[in-house]
Chains A and B, each alone.
Chain A
Amino acid sequence: MADIAATGGHAAAHELGHPSHVQHHFDTSAQQFEASKLGMWLFLGTEVLFFSGLFCAYTVYRFNHPEIFAYAHKSLSVFWGALNTIILIASSFTMALGVWCAQKSNRPGLVICLILTLAGAAGFMVIKAIEYNEKFQHGKLWGRLYQPAQHDDHAADDHAADAGAADAHAAASGAAHGSDARPTDPAHGAAAPAAGHGPSAAFQPERTSLAEPNQLPRGGVKLSTLTAGGHDKGHGGPKPADVHNEHIFYGIYFCLTGLHGLHVLAGMVVLSCVLVGAVQGRYHAGYYTPVDLGGLYWHLVDLIWIFLFPLLYLIH
Chain B
Amino acid sequence: MKEDFKRVLELTGLLCDELIDDEQFVELDKLLAEDVNARRVYTSFLEVHHGLAPGGSLGQGQNEKSEERLVKDMPKARSWVRFCTTAAAALIVVGLVFFSLESSQAPPIAVLTRVIDVKWSHPTRFRGEIGEALERGWLKIDAGVVELVFSSGASVSLEGPAQLRIDSPLKCFSDSGMLVANCPESAYGFTIEFRGGEVVDLGTEFALNTRVEGETNVHVLNGKVNVALLDDTREVIERQELTENTAVVLNSSEGEIAPMAYNQSMFDELRRDSLIKSQPVKLQFDIGRRAGLYHGTDAPGHSGGDLFAHENVWNQIIGDQAGSFVMADGNLCPFPIKVDYGQGDGEINWQAAPVDRLGKVYKRARGVANSALSLDNLFCHDELGMRVSGLPKGRYRVYVLCRSFRRQKATYNVSIGANLRKAWSEPMKVLPMKDEGVPEWEQGYTYAMGEVEIKNSKDWLTIITESIDDYTLKNIDRMKKAPRNNRSTLLGLQIVELD
A and B part of one assembly: no
Q: Show the binding face of B for A, using Cβ within 8 Å.
A: none
Q: Show the binding face of A for B, using Cβ within 8 Å.
A: none
